[in-house]
Amino acid sequence: MEQLSSKPLEGKRVAMLMTDGVEQIEYTSPRAYLEERGATVVLLAPKPAGATVQGFHHLQPADTFRVELDVADARPMDFDALVLPGGVANPDQLRMSRAAIDFIRDFDVEDKMVAAICHGPWTLIDAGIAQAKHLTSWPSLKRDLLNAGAEWTDEAVVIDARLVTSRKPDDLPAFNDAIFKELMVAAGTDPGPTS
């Protein structure tokens, strides 16, 4: 059994980028998982720090979450990984934010891990990093991702270099585990075989 007391991710900083309409469990589950292992997680949004983001449980409004840093003020160099939760409205709005898309693109340019679940991979198209990548997502995004030049597979987790994608909330255990394993690999190194 894994020893959580050792905090293997201590010193790692993870940005979670989202806005209103986020699928709540796709934010709360990875955040709790990473924090339990010692990572510092920061909620970024295209809103000022202190504003709130409305979470959803499918189509029902759920909890609100306080923005910790405006994505316009964030720098990829200050983080080890980026997590993009899903929900339909959340990535749809992020795609309209130049600061959000630039932040996602810059993570890829710096060869840092980007992890996206459910509808989260939608933003990868606008960031220009879906092309020639092996991805998965919520099934309704399949055509959009294929049209953007990605290879799409219906699997719980797909890892292509430093890009981790999953399909839905049921995949969260595998998604969280993949994020953890990728965070244990130094940026700029070969993560080994990919799916």
What separation in angstroms does the CA of 191 have from each of 76, 159, 164, 176, 195? 20, 10, 12, 17, 11
| From 57, 58, 119, 134, active-site residue | 119
164, two tokens: 């981790």
Query: Can you say how many angstroms the Cα of residue 49 is from the centroid of all Cα atoms in its chain?
Result: 19
Instruction: State both tokens at 17.
Output: 């980028």
Known catalytic membership, residue 118: yes
Neighbouring-strand partners of residue 113: 81
CA atoms of 23 and 21, how far apart (whole Å): 6
Token pair for 150: 């990605």
Task: Give DSSP secondary structure letters for 26-84.
Answer: HHHHHHHHHHHTT-EEEEEESS-TT-EEEEEETTEEEEEEE--EEGGG--GGG-SEEEE
Active site residues: 118-119
